[in-house]
Structure 1
């Protein structure tokens, strides 16, 4: 992922198997990462049960906040795929405790349809 892409708010897909060890103390027994996306230092990680937002803070990024959103708290979501002139895809997630949606941008080529499917499966409990 290029620096400019990260600065523009675009997320790039990363290998979920690489993160499994890093998230070992965050995930409960039997939970595994299904998809993960990274912005320069921050990430958002999908498991079978929840979405984990990772916010690395400070100059060194050693201070980390893990925000866990269970799928049952997601009231609705929207996916906007990339178009001819708008090369970015967008994901909006409404959380039951918030009026405004959580919005994430994905660069062209990101598998936004797979993310939509993961959220739908999580909400449905499948």
Structure 2
């Protein structure tokens, strides 16, 4: 993961083995990390069983919220790429039973296509 990409809000792929070790305490038996992306301080993690969204909070990022979404609960998702004047890309994920989607913003659409493809692979 490039430090400059992370600071600018660009998604970058994270090391799978390192992410697996970081999440060892919350992963189920036989659950493995298959893809992981970092966006500034937050993470989007695809395991063989669920989607995990990590929201690091506070100044130090020590406090973390882990949102676990079983793939079967994902109703739909959308991707909005950047344009000439709109430099932010956006990913929205609708979860069954929730009115508002989960929304993640990116500074460009460098890796949003990879994340959208991974969502398609796991959620469809």
TM range (shorter): 0.7 to 0.9
DSSP 3-state at the match of 1:76: strand
Distance 1:76 1:15, change over 3 A: same
Using structure 2 for the length normalisation, give the TM-score. Answer: 0.77
DSSP 3-state at the match of 2:116: helix
RMSD: 2.4
CA distance in 2, matches of 1:95, 1:118: 16
Runs of 4+ more than 4 Å apart? none
DSSP 3-state at the match of 1:19: helix
Structure 2 match to 1:86: 86
* Consecutive unaligned residues in structure 1, runs of 5 or more: none
* Shift of residue 70, structure 1, vs aligned partner: 0.8
Deviation track 1:57-83 (CA, whole Å, cap 9, x = no partner) reads 344433322110111111111112233
Structure 2 match to 1:47: 47
* Shift of residue 4, structure 1, vs aligned partner: 5.4
CA distance in 2, matches of 1:117, 1:97: 24
* Shift of residue 26, structure 1, vs aligned partner: 1.8
* Shift of residue 52, structure 1, vs aligned partner: 0.9
Alignment of 1:1-80 (within 5 A): 1-2=3-4, 5-6=8-9, 11-80=11-80
DSSP 3-state at the match of 2:41: coil
Aligned length: 121
Using structure 1 for the length normalisation, give the TM-score. Answer: 0.76
DSSP 3-state at the match of 1:100: coil
CA distance in 2, matches of 1:86, 1:43: 23
